Structure 1
Amino acid sequence: MALTPSNMLPLGTKAPDFSLVDTKDNQVKSLDELKGTAGTLVMFICNHCPFVIHVNTELSQLAKDYIAKGINCIAISSNDIDNYPQDAPHLMKQNAVDHHYIFPYLYDQTQEVAKAYDAACTPDFFLFDSELILVYAGQLDDSRPGNGIPVTGKDLRAAMDAVIAGKSVNLDQKPSMGCNIKWK
């Protein structure tokens, strides 16, 4: 497990478009059809990363709290499944069921979407406003496996609350930290 910070895609970047298979129902879904009315959260996650496992409950709760407020959540796994078979699509589907994901869990087989977003780690968070302009590219909160800090999602929640309220998101954004994306 290599501790890797996010690359912090520049704020103001337009969300790169994509169409990927949702492992929950095997249907191809596009960013345009999944985006929220108030905003869109794109999360790069995977099944096996201890950093993602540490925050899975909060990711599910975040979606429950914010989808009804107009911020849709989208999870994407881009890991190389030949070397990390625990991240295969059929296991992504099971992981989504086990953790009560109410958001799509998409598989980026070519890794082109992760590259377009400059994703570096799992979890890696990208919050876009209603026009799909990046307003937050930072951490969920200060909690990490083993550091004793409770998982609250406070940093990402504050950004999402600002988007909903039509306010500016705090520009002081700490990078997310996690396992590196497993590139082919």
Structure 2
Amino acid sequence: MALTASNMLPLGTKAPDFSLIDTKDDQIKSLIGHKGITGTLVMFICNHCPFVIHVNEQLVALANDYKAKGINCIAISSNDVEHYPQDGPELMRQNALVNNYPFPYLYDETQNVAKAYDAACTPDFFLFDADLSLVYAGQLDDSRPSNDIPVTGKDLRIAMDHLVNNTSINPKQKPSMGCNIKWKN
């Protein structure tokens, strides 16, 4: 595991479109087809990363809390499954069921979507407004598996609350930290 920080895609960047297989139901899901009326949170996660495992419960709570407020969440796994088979589609489906993911869990087999988003780590968060312009690219909160700080989702929740209330989101954002995305050779 290599501790990696997110690349901090510039605010205002338009969300790259995608169509990927949802491992939960084997249906193709697109960004446009799943975007929220208020905003869309695109999360790069995977099954085996201890940083993602550490925040899974909060990701579910966050998605459930903000769906009624018009923010849809989408999770994407882009890891190389040849070298990391625990992140393959069938195990993604099982993980989504065990954790009660209320959002699609998409498989980025080509890794083209992760590259388009300049995603670097798991978890990596990209919050877009109703027009799919990036308003937040940062951490969930200060909690990490190695510290005793509770997982609250504070940083991301503050950004989502500002989006819901149509108020300015602080442009000073802390990068997410986690395992590096496992790129194919």
Considering the TM-score relative to the shorter chain, is it more than 0.5? yes
Q: Matched residues in 1 for 2:172 and 2:149: separation?
A: 20
Output the aligned Cα RMSD: 0.4
Q: Which residue of 2 aligns with 1:23?
A: 23
Q: Which residue of 1 aligns with 2:40?
A: 40
Q: Which residue of 2 aligns with 1:176?
A: 176
Is 1:130 the equivalent of 2:130? yes
Q: Matched residues in 2 for 1:149 and 1:82: separation?
A: 34
Q: Matched residues in 2 for 1:152 and 1:171: separation?
A: 20
Q: Which residue of 1 aligns with 2:112?
A: 112
Deviation at 1:144, TM superposition (A): 0.3
Q: Matched residues in 1 for 2:160 and 2:94: separation?
A: 28
Q: Which residue of 1 aligns with 2:66?
A: 66
Q: Matched residues in 1 for 2:66 and 2:12: separation?
A: 22
Q: 1:48-97, CA deviations, whole angstroms, 9 ceiling, x for partnerless residues? A: 00000000000000011001110000000000000000000000000001
Q: Which residue of 2 aligns with 1:76?
A: 76
Please list every run of at least 4 consecutive aligned residues from structure 1 whose deviation after the TM superposition is greater than 6 angstroms: none
Q: Which residue of 1 aligns with 2:97?
A: 97
TM-score scaled by structure 1?
Answer: 0.99
Q: Gaps (5+ residues) in structure 1? A: none
Q: Matched residues in 1 for 2:100 and 2:27: separation?
A: 19
Secondary structure at 2:172 match in 1: coil
Aligned residues: 184
Q: Gaps (5+ residues) in structure 2? A: none
Q: Matched residues in 2 for 1:176 and 1:110: separation?
A: 23
Secondary structure at 1:69 match in 2: coil
Deviation at 1:168, TM superposition (A): 1.1
TM-score scaled by structure 2?
Answer: 0.99
Q: Matched residues in 2 for 1:118 and 1:8: separation?
A: 8
Q: Which amino acid aligns with 1:181?
A: I
Q: Matched residues in 1 for 2:151 and 2:2: separation?
A: 21
Percent sequence identity over aligned pairs: 77
Secondary structure at 2:68 match in 1: helix
Q: Which amino acid aligns with 1:140?
A: L
Secondary structure at 1:169 match in 2: coil
Q: Which amino acid aligns with 1:92?
A: M
